[in-house]
Chains A and B, each alone.
Chain A
């Protein structure tokens, strides 16, 4: 019963996402294959992983789990239902003081179970004018823990205009998700170097980066 409800809710969310954003995936650096991956994306809205999920081929959706903050997704029954049942999110506690389990360990556990992941290395929603916030170190630790898994940058364009923080009515605007060439941690690469490379790879996918 719960499974059927989650399936229906997932279909409704997909329909709504397409209605509002007509979102299209552009596979610029990789093909949509079944290979296990960590997609890392810019984060401007709670709908970000929905858009990535929408443009993935159907069979890949069931094996791709978003990584999200438990402080937001465990608040209230509806959010819990959407976060846990519909999207099967890996919920991590972003508060260093209170957390009981290590987020990187949670993510590697999901990878070891065969899932792909969607992560937002900025760590929080970007509400500034900067196109990208500095990455947190989690992506580096994840890459070091599972060096065999490809890291695929995914730039989500326009969703910040659809629903800016604090607004609750979405504006229909066309969005795109651009997937770039996969990255891997190289031998002896430092944390700073790797994070800078990952940030640059993601920013390079932004249409504004190509226009200017």
Chain B
């Protein structure tokens, strides 16, 4: 393993600094407002901060591990997300082989294609090949009840949890002149902008949030929170242009795209949760719900960010 790039070390040190500050604030708040653990907002905040520590440490290790680390981490994220998604579908006995294929063939093959950087195939493997072959497996079992619903659910699950998610490690395959060996920082940039945007929307919403933006889908999201969060996250993204191949203006534009897609992705995933009558996708991370609850904004922005950067900056 080679030494991590100094820029990556700087980014990770910066994030750790933010977390130390957050943990200190959380500790003080708990001492003052919730010494007996009775203040739900403070307890939830501290749960979130603890979960952030775990996520940042895992993400940091993956980024230091380079291509192997990132591919393994997001491969596992895809697996955990698919497990949560399929749990909420109406799939049944007759889908058993199709589902087994989704988990144990389609997912590993997609990540293998990402690993060998075969852009031409990983871009269409799930949208074309899985799309056509999975219904054949399901049809072979002969159960036609709700057939269209079932195959559509499996395809959607694969597109979201595997195809879209796999575009995060795919960023490593881009070949950007003058940016060699620093591609992991593109991933750091994407993830930081998305997560900062989520946090800032939450903060702005708590501070000045009045007008609900989508009361049916997500009662906690407000116009003020969204606008404040989006603008300040775009500003943070522009400020991070030093770790990217972009100018400050370009970084601001890409950040805005990431933030908007992340926001609307969150709404889409909320709509699915409402439809299924659940509050969270799963229970893996305390204070955050499931994997998909944390991944949804990254998932929606990753493929578009990937393609924008590929067409705008990459030589391959």
Which A residues contact B (CB, under 8 angstroms)? 22, 24, 158, 161, 164, 167, 169, 171-174, 211
Apart from the given pairs A169-B97, A174-B87, 10 other A-B contacts in the complex at a CB distance below 8 Å: A22-B83, A22-B282, A158-B87, A161-B91, A161-B92, A164-B96, A171-B103, A173-B83, A174-B84, A174-B283
Known: A22-B80, A24-B283. A172 touches B277 (CB 8 A): no
B residues near A158, Cβ cutoff 8 Å: 87
Please state if A173 and B86 are interface contacts (CB–CB under 8 Å).
yes
Q: Within the complex, which residue of B82, B97, B283, B284 is in contact with A172, where a contact is CB–CB below 8 Å?
A: B82
In contact, A169 and B100 (Cβ under 8 angstroms): yes
Known A-B contacts A158-B87, A164-B93; A172 and B79 likewise in contact (beta carbons under 8 Å): yes
**B84 and A171 form a contact (CB under 8 A):** no
On whether A172 and B83 interact (CB within 8 A), knowing A22-B282, A211-B277, the answer reads yes
Smallest distance from the beta carbon of B101 to chain A beta carbons, Å?
A: 10
Q: Which residue of A lies closest to B291 (CB)?
A: A22
Give the chain A neighbours of B282 by CB distance below 8 A: 22, 174
Residues of chain A with a CB closer than 8 A to B82's CB: 172
> How many B residues are at the interface, by size bracket?
20 to 34
What are 20 sample pairs from A and B whose C-beta atoms fall under 8 A apart?
A: A22-B80, A22-B83, A22-B282, A22-B283, A22-B284, A161-B91, A161-B92, A164-B93, A167-B96, A169-B96, A169-B100, A171-B86, A171-B100, A171-B103, A172-B83, A172-B86, A172-B103, A173-B83, A173-B87, A211-B277
Chain A neighbourhood of B104, CB < 8 A:
169
**B99 an interface residue at 8 Å Cβ cutoff?**
yes
> Residues of B at under 8 Å CB distance from A?
79-80, 82-84, 86-87, 91-93, 96-97, 99-100, 103-104, 277, 282-284
CA distance A158 to B89 in the complex (A): 12
Contact in complex: A171, B99 (CB < 8 Å): yes
Q: Which residues of A contact B277 (CB under 8 A)?
A: 211
Determine whether the beta carbon of B96 is less than 8 Å from that of A171: yes
Contacts of B99 in A (CB 8 A): 171
The interface residues of chain B lying within 8 Å CB-to-CB of A174 are 83-84, 87, 282-283
B275 CB, min distance to chain A CBs, angstroms: 13
CA distance A161 to B95 in the complex (A): 10
CA distance A171 to B107 in the complex (A): 13
Residues of B within 8 A of A164 (CB): 93, 96
Who on chain A is nearest to B86 by CB? A173
Instruction: Tell me, in angstroms, the Cα distance from A173 to B87 when the chains sit together.
Output: 5
Contacts of B86 in A (CB 8 A): 171-173
Which residues of chain B are within 8 angstroms of A167 by Cβ–Cβ distance?
Answer: 96
| Closest chain A residue, CB of each to CB of B99 | A171
